[in-house]
Amino acid sequence: MEQALALARLGRYTTMPNPRVGCILVKNGRVIGRGWHEIAGEGHAEVVALADAKRTVEGATAYVTLEPCSHFGKTPPCCDLLIESGVAAVVIAMTDPNPDVSGEGVKRLEDAGITVINGVLEESARQLNQGFIKRMETGLPHVRCKMAMSLDGRTSMASGESQWITGSDAREKVQQLRAESCAIVTGIGSILRDDSSLTVRIEQFGKLEPGVNRDSLIARQPLRVVVDSNLRIPLDAKVLSQPGKTIIATSVRSIDKEEELKRRWGVECVFLPDESGRVDLERLLRWLAEMQCNEVLVEAGSTLAGGFLENNLIDEFTLFMAPSLMGCTAKGLFDLPLESLSDRIQLQIKNIYAVGKDWCIEALPAC
């Protein structure tokens, strides 16, 4: 199963909106076939592994990181293909949370006389597909907030200058985080200040591990979302003209500007106001889940990042810390209306590691 999980990870940049799945076929103690799902609409992991098999599959055991699908989508049901292949057993890491499957694949395999073992390395499998699982179970994507800061917790100078706080190795890691995401969310303040493009730049990506399809990675750009309550985005902003799709989440209607954004760049404006006249961030996330976004990366300044945090919408923090000091007038990480120490937000640090000359802190909201 560990080998199957390693194969599944090879699809982490390209399977969206589908889950990442790997499959290993074993017969007489030897691996006879390997496969992983690479791109939505193409072969699932089981199909690829069966095609890769170097000998007859009859009597073999299939190790699959997610319950084989039992419904017709863009491809036929994988459980039917496993039954037809003659495998004797199927070992599964976890049940598929998709209500179209959710135990039906296991039932059909067992009804066909195939031995099924479920729950092997389940936690690792859930971690690999945490965004897909959350979307299926809650109607919300998994949200990671990425921030870069100095040693004294500052993200930009008072003037707004912030490029670059961290080094090239940290920025390389950010490209990987973007590539793993279905959507990248930023605020209009960041666009006006930095004129960011919010693209995955393969030239800054670093060395690809064997098995990752470079062409597929280049072809897929995450959805870019600009939170712009008052629709202030300039028509010549870089984020509008990049490959892939850009969405503006707004709380005001401006028919002329909306039409010009649509005509010139094909950019859609999504009207999601809250009671205060700002963009309703939870509604935005639910809309993104409806667009089949599993994982969302928030790359924003202290105001928008603080809004996500204040509304308990962040699942994971990735904080890059540079060995520098920016002083008391520089801006902090999050704008939060906290008045006493008892109001502080506790985090659980999951991991800390060096990234070049910087440090990366991975943390979760404390339970």
Alpha carbon distance 349, 116 (integer Å): 37
3-state secondary structure 200-214: CCHHHCCCCCCCCCH
Given a contact cutoff of 8 angstroms between Cβ atoms, the answer to whether 91 and 64 are in contact is yes
Given a contact cutoff of 8 angstroms between Cβ atoms, the answer to whether 303 and 189 are in contact is yes
Alpha carbon distance 287, 290 (integer Å): 5
Where do the DSSP E strands lie in the chain? Answer: 22-27, 30-36, 61-64, 89-92, 115-118, 142-149, 154-156, 183-187, 223-227, 246-250, 268-271, 295-298, 316-321, 331-332, 347-355, 358-365
Backbone angles phi, psi at 220, to 5 degrees: -105, 120
The structure tokens listed for 122 are 């389940």
CA distances 36 to 48, 134, 152, 211, Å, are 7, 22, 43, 10
Bridge partners for 254 per DSSP? none
339 carries an active-site annotation: no
Q: How many CA atoms lie within 13 A of 356 on its CB side?
A: 15
Bridge partners for 149 per DSSP? 321
Alpha carbon distance 316, 318 (integer Å): 7
Bridge partners for 361 per DSSP? 319, 352
Parallel/antiparallel/unpaired status of strands 115-118 and 142-149: unpaired
- Which of these is catalytic: 46, 104, 180, 258? 46
Alpha carbon distance 60, 88 (integer Å): 6
**Residues acting as catalytic residues:** 46
